[in-house]
Structure 1
């Protein structure tokens, strides 16, 4: 594949030579052959000229759910990766949310094989415990050798602190990454939404912030004792940010993420009982949103994720109490973040994080493999559900103004527009 990108504005704050400069970029057989102010198109080369074309290294999402195997009606791996590519992502971390769950090396091999030749790089997480039941550790070392980049019982809390301690101590020997979902289920009970004035007014059972924060306090104490690498996915409260900031100051090896929807929606949007806003952790208060945004800007929160979770209509168009948790979000990530943080900060947020998982960060320089996202940062629009590529249409972002449209990606010697 030979491609010439014409007049592309490069967004790459780590390289001042090209940052925010317009350049032509010649790609030969998937490798960056030349970057220059004007490059003539060689023969047998596809020339790409696009309105207000900007490029960066390929984007990365640390929390994505599909359905295959088991829930193919929600999202297959093939269509999920297509959705990721059209959304600008060249690398995604796949949560273990299928059925059966991936808790063995053969399961990880299946996921890796299913993603071959699909363009986007899929990096699977394996379950921390057998069948994600929380009783005994799964074959963590074998899964990592087969390509797992971390271990997580998706959206399930580790109720046994001794199990977390053993997992951290064991994985420390091979630098494995342990996830712990921040939810004390005994405090959360049968809660559905944030506990507060809105839940009381609507008559919905609440999940108090304490349920998240109590679990984080416990997990950080275990980490301090056991050592190892801990990741706390999708935090949602102001105090969670404070607790993790304090842990980092102490030198603990901990990272955390936040879902985009927890940065823009408060629990006030639940007034109409729209189940697309039913997510886990739940939407919190405006005060929490302010603290989360500050945590992102200060670097306490390491990653922003779409937490893309396709749910078929039968499990969303039901009474609020009976609806499944989750919203899709891959297609909305750039337009929302660019609106919130501006272009340069957004690209930093969308490209950071690979090193935590042992994934090589692509470089935008001659002689390197081309791994680009192509986009127009200035186009504004409101998405329509019928335009979504995702099989499931459970989106919380419909009619939310976006700034910035993605053209596609160039990755693994493929053009995916």
Structure 2
């Protein structure tokens, strides 16, 4: 599609001269050719996207997504995963190495990069820290970075060996690599089904205490300080983690963190019905933790929000709670969850579009005349039904499937391509 005109949308781009203004944006052959205060556009030969009542910003970037490439394509392949991402407003996603084989060498990184080439949604592999994600031996981090990996993590397996984590931080620092920590002490968390607290006691289920997370956050903060290296924590979920990271930032430690959108709107009280779609890792915590996470977002301790999109086949979820796999699909529900959590449009853009790119050292795309168009158009008021017809993922493991949600992505533009949600 050569020409696209977004009309009468409020521009959200902190620092931009037209930030907060209602504008028309004309995109010609993939580039922004005009940004002007909203006026009549009858003289323009272009596909018109009505932005009245909506916000337009740089496309969202998800720092924590799971596809199934390579080896687990029955969960999610690149085509379906990027379709779900585009429908959720994301023009870029970082894909974790929770695959079979894991993304732990140049070969898997190259496979994912080449498979996703030409897509509207940019797909960035995150390479494993350790070979086979077994936590014993460092993978070839530098080779993976040269092939296209943007950061390193063992995915949903927390690195238990402090010495290996320390070496990973020190080694990656030499080539400006970023280590991502999924904080969980297995010796404390072992055998859990949900958050440890009053609700787990009431339901008679094994609980994972906040301590399992905060212990690992504390350890990796010490290691990052010792090695003078940056570290990023993904999917933090506890009040204690927020406080530890806040203190570390005040000391000048190079630390950033993100939170999964579902941990901002649900608590462990949801588990009372034993719906396995509420079984996630880290688990849903208490209202006290949710309040601390929201405060951490507002004050800037928490830098970004992620989907933690984790698709599973029905046989892994439509089972008893205690044997169900952990995780939910989330690419299409991040915006509605953040609207429900009470974030402003500017906060949403900061946590979903700007900060994620800055964390991995990418330049934030500009919204200026002459720049390549990388845009999302979204409404904070529009409602839509998330069901089998609107769900773009292969999987259906979401606790809000079948519900009416508030907060809708109208369109995304990237690489000269347009996807609209009618």
Name the TM-score class by shorter chain: over 0.9
Instruction: Say which is worse superposed, 236-245 or 350-359, in terms of deviation.
Output: 350-359
For residues 373 and 98 of structure 2, the distance between their equivalents in structure 1, rounded to whole angstroms, comes to 31
Alpha-carbon contact 2:11-2:23 (below 8 Å) kept? no
Match of 1:35?
Answer: 35
TM-score (norm 2): 0.95
For residues 181 and 19 of structure 2, the distance between their equivalents in structure 1, rounded to whole angstroms, comes to 37
TM-score (norm 1): 0.96
Match of 2:253?
Answer: 252
Question: Per-residue CA shift, 1:119-165, capped at 9, x if unaligned?
Answer: 10111100000010100000000101111011110111111101011
Deviation at 1:31, TM superposition (A): 0.9
Question: Per-residue CA shift, 1:332-373, capped at 9, x if unaligned?
Answer: 111221232132222222212202212221111101100010
Question: Per-residue CA shift, 1:304-353, capped at 9, x if unaligned?
Answer: 11111111100001111111000111111112212321322222222122
| 1:163-178 alignment runs, 5 A limit | 163-178=164-179
Match of 2:359?
Answer: 356
**SS of corresponding position for 1:375:** strand
Match of 2:239?
Answer: 238
For residues 153 and 101 of structure 1, the distance between their equivalents in structure 2, rounded to whole angstroms, comes to 9
Match of 1:346?
Answer: 348
| 1:172-211 alignment runs, 5 A limit | 172-211=173-212
Gaps (5+ residues) in structure 2?
none
For residues 382 and 4 of structure 1, the distance between their equivalents in structure 2, rounded to whole angstroms, comes to 27
Match of 2:3?
Answer: 3
Alpha-carbon contact 1:87-1:408 (below 8 Å) kept? no
Deviation at 1:40, TM superposition (A): 4.6
Residue 280, structure 1, aligned to residue 281, structure 2: yes
For residues 11 and 400 of structure 1, the distance between their equivalents in structure 2, rounded to whole angstroms, comes to 29
Alpha-carbon contact 1:378-1:404 (below 8 Å) kept? yes
Alpha-carbon contact 1:85-1:409 (below 8 Å) kept? yes
Match of 1:96?
Answer: 97
Deviation at 1:386, TM superposition (A): 4.4
Instruction: Say which is worse superposed, 335-344 or 190-199, in terms of deviation.
Output: 335-344
Question: Per-residue CA shift, 1:160-181, capped at 9, x if unaligned?
Answer: 1010111111111111101221
Match of 1:406?
Answer: 409
For residues 163 and 55 of structure 2, the distance between their equivalents in structure 1, rounded to whole angstroms, comes to 49
Alpha-carbon contact 2:9-2:51 (below 8 Å) kept? no
For residues 400 and 241 of structure 1, the distance between their equivalents in structure 2, rounded to whole angstroms, comes to 31
Deviation at 1:50, TM superposition (A): 5.2
Cα RMSD over matched residues?
A: 1.7
Gaps (5+ residues) in structure 1?
none
Alpha-carbon contact 1:94-1:124 (below 8 Å) kept? yes
**SS of corresponding position for 2:127:** coil
Match of 1:415?
Answer: 418
Deviation at 1:225, TM superposition (A): 1.1
Alpha-carbon contact 2:7-2:49 (below 8 Å) kept? no
* Pair 283,22 (structure 1): closer, same or farther in 2 beyond 3 Å: same
For residues 218 and 6 of structure 1, the distance between their equivalents in structure 2, rounded to whole angstroms, comes to 48
For residues 54 and 255 of structure 2, the distance between their equivalents in structure 1, rounded to whole angstroms, comes to 37
